[in-house]
Amino acid sequence: MDALLALEDGRTFPCRSFTGPGNATGEVVFNTSMTGYQEVLTDPSYSGQMVVMTYPLIGNYGVNPDDIESDRIQVAAFIIKEYQAYPSNFRSTATLADYLTEQGIMGVEGLDTRAITRHIRNAGAMRAAISTDELTPAALVKRATKIPRMAGLNLAKVVTTPDPFYWDNGKPHFFNPDRQPLDKTIWQDRGAKRSVVAFDFGIKFNILRQLDQAGFELVVVPSATTADTIQAMAPDGIFLSNGPGDPEPVGDAIKTIRSLLDYRPIFGICLGHQLLGLALGGTTFKLKFGHRGANQPVKNLRSGKVEITSQNHGFAVDTESLQENDVEITHINLNDNTLEGFRHRKYPIFSVQYHPEASPGPHDARYLFDEFKELMG
């Protein structure tokens, strides 16, 4: 089915929908991963975004119920060069088209994804619209200009869990707040395992799997959970998750984190890293086209080693805004020298911008989960 992709600056790309008729809007971004498209689709950090995959052939290994990072597809649309309708993999249970169609997400193919990627790299990530019923370029461009910009959007409150849950045996087990108060009685393995409260700003399942494998007992709470509630739970550590959107509008979480800085060890990643930076008095800014892929080189300034990392973010913490706040810069991005990690010199606090849990991606940074455990004594 014929479709059209229109960017807010007037550039358009004719294409074909492989998921039937539909419309979609969002910020168009690109991801350079060669595999892991199902994990990309279900990563909550992509909420509000239409993702272009730079690898040309997508769909060749189908989809399955094990490679998901949340309970649903999170992207606004999926943009690829060539769709493979007949997957071949022993783990496959459905086609990519069926998976997208079932959840009402548009997928389009037949575009020059290299041209889109080069355009975004030069002009920056921007708003866009896709349609099968509006094929007039000027009208679709106008539609793209009417959607909200990513800067200023608090999307963490959109993707966060509505209720707290206990993570056990690879699955969430939701609490009934009326029957189970959030206090220190919620821990089932107190003493045998270190207890961790994880703030859900858009948390990926593989983060929870890695924390579980590191030996933690986990309770996940909504993004707006207060400092008083966290202290009533009396955890051994606090984890700040990844998530979508602009960190600055997530004001309640920044205030809560600031209240907990000297309370327990804290580990933040991605959006959690940015919120921690803001809580420490730093500032953030929007990157031109972001870092999205499984091949981002990061230098660990403490060890001198270079790690290849998985990343997905469009904002960054300004390095200079933190350097006078008892903060040690620990990691930098070798492509553009942006801040990728820091730790506090007084408090047991550290964070990284990238995804140490990967999925998809390399495992170079999984040692950070063990460092979090060491911080708790």
pLDDT 10s digits, 162-184: 999 999 988 999 987 777 888 99
- Do 232 and 108 belong to one domain? no
Question: Do 127 and 171 sit in the same domain of this protein?
Answer: no
User: Catalytic annotation on 273?
Assistant: no
Confidence band (pLDDT; 50, 70, 90) for 190?
confident
pTM comes to 0.96
Closest CA to 371 of 225, 131, 148, 210: 210
Q: Does the active-site annotation cover 15?
A: no
Q: Is 357 a residue of the active site?
A: yes
Q: Please indicate, yes or no, whether residues 203 and 351 belong to a single structural domain of this protein.
A: yes
pLDDT digits (tens, 9 = 90+) for 248-302: 999 999 999 999 999 999 999 999 999 999 999 999 999 999 999 999 999 999 9
Where do runs of H (alpha helix) occur along 34-109?
37-41, 96-102
- Give 313-360 pLDDT, tens digit per residue: 999 999 999 987 899 999 999 999 999 999 999 999 999 999 999 888
CATH of residue 33's domain is 3.50.30.20
Beta bridge mates, 28: 50, 126
Average pLDDT over the chain, rounded to whole?
Answer: 96
Is 151 contained in some domain? no
Strands of the chain, DSSP E: 2-7, 12-17, 23-31, 49-53, 57-58, 77-79, 82-83, 106-109, 126-131, 165-168, 171-174, 194-200, 216-222, 237-240, 266-269, 284-300, 306-317, 327-333, 339-344, 349-352
Whether 242 maps to a domain, the answer reads yes
Query: Considering 270, 291, 307, 331, which one is annotated as catalytic?
Result: 270
Looking at the DSSP bridge assignments, the partners of residue 296 are 309
Catalytic residue among 27, 39, 109, 357: 357
Do the beta carbons of residue 354 and residue 309 sit within 8 Å? yes
198 and 314 fall within a common domain:
yes
CATH number of the domain enclosing 244? 3.40.50.880
Flag whether 249 is in a domain.
Answer: yes
Please provide residue 50's backbone torsions phi and psi, each rounded to the nearest 5 degrees: -105, 120
**Pair 61, 131 in one domain:** yes
Whether 49 is in a domain gets the answer yes
Beta strand 266-269 with 237-240: parallel, antiparallel or unpaired? parallel
Look at residue 153 in the predicted model and tell me its pLDDT: 93
Q: What residues make up the domain containing 77? A: 2-145
Residue 167: both structure tokens together: 């993570």
